[in-house]
Amino acid sequence: MVCGTKLRIYKTIFTRIQPNSLFLIALKNKKHFDIIICGGGAAGLLLAHGLIQNNAFDHLSIALIEKEQKNQNDRTWCFWEEGKGKWDHLVSSRWDNAIFQSQQYNANFSLAPYQYKMIEGINFYNHLYPLLEKAPNLELIQAEITEVNASDKYGEVSTHEATYTGDKVFSSIPKEEYKQQQKFPVLQQHFIGWFVKTEAPIFDQDTMVFMDFDLDQKNNTRFMYVLPFSPTEALVEYTLFSKDLVKDEEYEAEITQYLNQRKAGKVSVTATEKGSIPMTAYNFDQHNSAHLMHIGTAGGWTKASTGFTFQKSQEKINALIEFLKKEKALDQFPQRNKFNFYDMLFLDVLAKYNGEGSELFSRMFQRNTPQRIFQFLDEKTSYRQEVLLMSSFPIGRFVKALFKRVFSL
C-alpha cells in the first residue's frame, strides 16, 4: 500500500518525541475527509471501488484506512450467482452441480441457473488495491484504528498516529457488542479448511459438496463442505454452526477421518483457512448514526442463518451507492426486512435444538428445489414461496419460537 512509507515516517517521529508532545502531533495530523472507510477487506474494498467507479463522487475526498498489507490469501469467498457477474474475471473456480448429504436425505443436483463461484482473497486485493491507489480523490492509509466515534456533526477515526474526521464514516472493524447481549442467541459458523492434494482421485471436480452431514453430530450442527478443483485437489472444510468453538485438533481429526474414509491415500495439505463468522439476529444497525455506518460483518451484513456475506455485501453496496447520492443521514439507509425475522426464528430454533441442524437442513432440501432455497437465502422470494419453504420445517418448534418472541417484545 502506498502509505507504508507514511506509516514508517510516523513511527520514526514517535520514537523520538516525549509523551506530552504526542497530543500536539495528533492535533496537527488531524485531517478531514468527506468519506472515511475503516477496514479494507471485502466490504471496505467493495465500497471504495463503488465510490471511485461512480462520477457522482469524484468531487469527494475519500480515505481508506487498513492496518494490514493485504498481501496474503487470507480467505476464499464463495457464493452462488445467476449468469455473468461483476467479479467473474477474478473467479478462480466454479461449479454447476452440488451435493447435499445427510443420514435422512441425499441429493446430487444441478445448480442451474446458478453457478457456485470462488474468489481467492489475494486475487481480489491484488485487483482492487492498485485501482484505489490510482484514484485521484482516494488516500490509502495503512494504520491500525484504535477508535471510531461519531458526534452529531461528523465521524471521528483515531489511529495510533493521527485522528481523522469524516462527514461520513463507514466502519468494517469487527465489533463485539453482539456477544454481550442476551436477547438474541449467537451461534458461530466456525471451521477449518484444508486445501489438500490426495494420492487417489477421490473428487468429482464438477460437483461441490454444499453440506455433508453424514458425520457424528455430537449434539451440534456439523458438516463437511468440499470444493473440488481436480480429481486429486480440493478444499475440505469441517464446519459447525454452534455456540462454542472446538479445539483445532478436532476439526483436523475430522478432516483426516473424512479423507481416510474416502481412501484418499497419501494427503498433502498445501494451505489452510480458518474462520468464525457470527450468526445472530442481533440488530447491528443500532450502532449507526447520521455520520457513522457499520458495514460488512460489523454492520450485520452476514446472512444470519448461513454466514454467507460476500454477495450480500455487494448487494448492500449497490444500494448504498444509490442512497449516498441522496445526501441523507446514514442511519436512514434501509437495512431490515422480513428476512431478518425469518433468520431470527431459524436461529432461535437452531440454537435451542443445535443437535437437530442436520434434520432441519435435510427437510429443507428434501421439500424444496435448491433453486428456491437459494432464492430464499438471497431474500428474493415471494410470500407464497416463503410459506412453502417454512412448511418444510417441524412447525411446532417454530410456532414455539414465534410465541416466545411475540410475548417477550
Ligand X SMILES: Cc1cc2nc3c(=O)[nH]c(=O)nc-3n(C[C@H](O)[C@H](O)[C@H](O)COP(=O)(O)OP(=O)(O)OC[C@H]3O[C@@H](n4cnc5c(N)ncnc54)[C@H](O)[C@@H]3O)c2cc1C
CB of 380 to ligand X, least distance (A): 16
**CA-CA distances (angstroms) from residue 373 to 40, 174, 361?**
31, 29, 10
- By beta carbon distance, the residue nearest ligand X is 41
Rule CB under 6 A: choose which of 145, 150, 157, 215 binds ligand X. 145
Residue 297 interacting with ligand X (CB under 6 A) = yes
Cβ-proximal residues to 196 (8 Å cutoff; 6+ apart), any chain? 233, 234, 235, 236, 259, 264, 267, 268, 269, 270
Q: Which range, of 248-256, 303-311, 382-390, 398-406, touches ligand X by CB under 6 A?
A: 303-311
- The DSSP bridge pattern shows strands 106-110 and 114-120 to be unpaired
Site string for ligand X, 214-253 (x = CB under 6 A): ----------------------------------------
Instruction: Give the dihedral of Cα atoms 35, 176, 41, 158; nearest 10 deg.
Output: 40
Total of residues contacting ligand X (CB under 6 A): 28
CB of 388 to ligand X, least distance (A): 25
* Beta strands, E only, 83-199: 91-95, 97-101, 106-110, 114-120, 138-142, 145-150, 155-159, 163-171, 186-198
CB of 34 to ligand X, least distance (A): 20
Given its phi and psi angles, is residue 218 left (phi above 0), alpha (psi -120 to 50 degrees) or beta? left
Closest CA to 250 of 280, 271, 274: 274
Cβ-proximal residues to 30 (8 Å cutoff; 6+ apart), any chain? 162, 163, 164, 165
Residue numbers 70-89 binding ligand X by CB under 6 A: 75-79
Residue 155 interacting with ligand X (CB under 6 A) = no
Residue 310 interacting with ligand X (CB under 6 A) = yes
Cβ distance to ligand X smaller for residue 275 or 355: 275
Residue 173 interacting with ligand X (CB under 6 A) = yes
**How far is it, in rounded angstroms, from Cα 116 to Cα 356?**
26
Cβ distance to ligand X smaller for residue 188 or 221: 188
Residue numbers 39-58 binding ligand X by CB under 6 A: 39-44
CB of 239 to ligand X, least distance (A): 10
Rule CB under 6 A: choose which of 172, 198, 280, 354 binds ligand X. 172
Closest CA to 200 of 289, 144, 265: 265
Residue 66 interacting with ligand X (CB under 6 A) = yes
Residue 277 interacting with ligand X (CB under 6 A) = yes
The residue with cell 410470500 is 383
Residue 363 interacting with ligand X (CB under 6 A) = no
Residue 317 interacting with ligand X (CB under 6 A) = no
Residue 357 interacting with ligand X (CB under 6 A) = no
Residue 120 interacting with ligand X (CB under 6 A) = no
Instruction: Give the dihedral of Cα atoms 82, 300, 242, 277; nearest 10 deg.
Output: 70
CB of 259 to ligand X, least distance (A): 20
| Tally of CA atoms within 13 A in the half-sphere of 179 that contains its CB | 9
Residue 296 interacting with ligand X (CB under 6 A) = yes
Cis amide leading into 113 (omega within 30): yes
162, 22 in Cβ contact below 8 A?
A: no
Q: How far apart are the first and last CA of the chain?
A: 48
Q: Which range, of 11-19, 271-279, 384-392, 396-404, touches ligand X by CB under 6 A?
A: 271-279
Task: Enumerate binding residues for ligand X (CB under 6 A).
Answer: 39-44, 65-68, 75-79, 144-145, 172-173, 273, 275, 277, 296-298, 308-310
